Amino acid sequence: MVVNGKTKITGIFGYPIEHTLSPLMHNSAFRELGLDMCYIPFKVSPEDLPVAVNAIRSLHLEGVNITVPHKEHVIPFLDKVDEEAAFIGAVNTITNNEGILTGFNTDGRGFMSSLTEESVSVENREVVMIGTGGAARAVSYYLSEKASKLSMFDIDRNKADTLVSDLGKIRNNVYVLDSPDIIGNPDILINATPLGLHDEDPLPVNADLISSEMVVCDLIYRRTPLLHNASEKGAKTVDGSGMLLWQGVLAFELWTGVKPPVETMRQQLLSGIR
């Protein structure tokens, strides 16, 4: 990749940012399509977020992805927010159109695309999700549209109550679980907590509650202890790498107006995970 005065710059704001795999995906796609663009990770501390967002304009960046801990906090600094992202209350992609910054959220659609790719249907199925943070809000927006019932638990009960209340304005099939020990026997179980990032983490639910009839998903993009346990019990499992891939595909389309080479992005992503 040769960077020159005409190269269009995209990137990602996060803190920390050293672990991001997004540059692998996007830069490989730019190269394959012959686009004079590049993708750079920017380490942006929370106190520097307002200045960094304004720099998108002053540096004429094409747009950026937003990752933890900025997805919810970035919204006040944008000119526009897509209806879906406004409802979710979190932004993971920003476009810059001649200085007008618009926020989008591609996480939920990315997750649903990953399920479709794995031949998992949410239609009229009972779903339980553990964790109700930013990514969970995006995912639940789409899950609740298709599922017969969506039940959610969070160790922060207020956070769970808020999400269910917000979804309740447009859905009538969402509920708060009082404990992760009473999930019942859902068709689909989803971990949307950070538990599993480290091998020593406890499982987000009691292992005895997992059955072979379930589809068990994790938003973490590697094989977590939860997924290993579920696989051993014969359950179908879906890790978060597909969600990471497809949210990136959608962001790429927002910045460029063209469809990226998905398989190239996938191979680069998987090489980074390994």
Residue 9: is it exposed, middle or buried by C-beta count within 10 angstroms (0-12/13-18/19+)? Answer: middle
Q: Judging by DSSP bridges, how do beta strands 236-238 and 215-218 pair with one another?
A: parallel
Q: Which candidate in 6, 8, 71, 146 is catalytic? A: 71
Q: Is the peptide bond before 202 cis (omega within 30 degrees of 0)?
A: no
Q: Which among 206, 198, 243 is positioned nearest to 105, based on CA atoms?
A: 243
Contact 84, 108 (CB under 8 A): yes
CA-to-CA dists, residue 69 to 47, 48, 81, 215, 233, angstroms: 11, 12, 18, 29, 35
43 is catalytic: no
Residue 212: is it exposed, middle or buried by C-beta count within 10 angstroms (0-12/13-18/19+)? Answer: exposed
Using H for helix, E for strand and C for coil, what is the string for 187-223?
Answer: CEEEECCCCCCCCCCCCCCCHHHCCCCCEEEECCCCC
| Positions marked active-site | 71
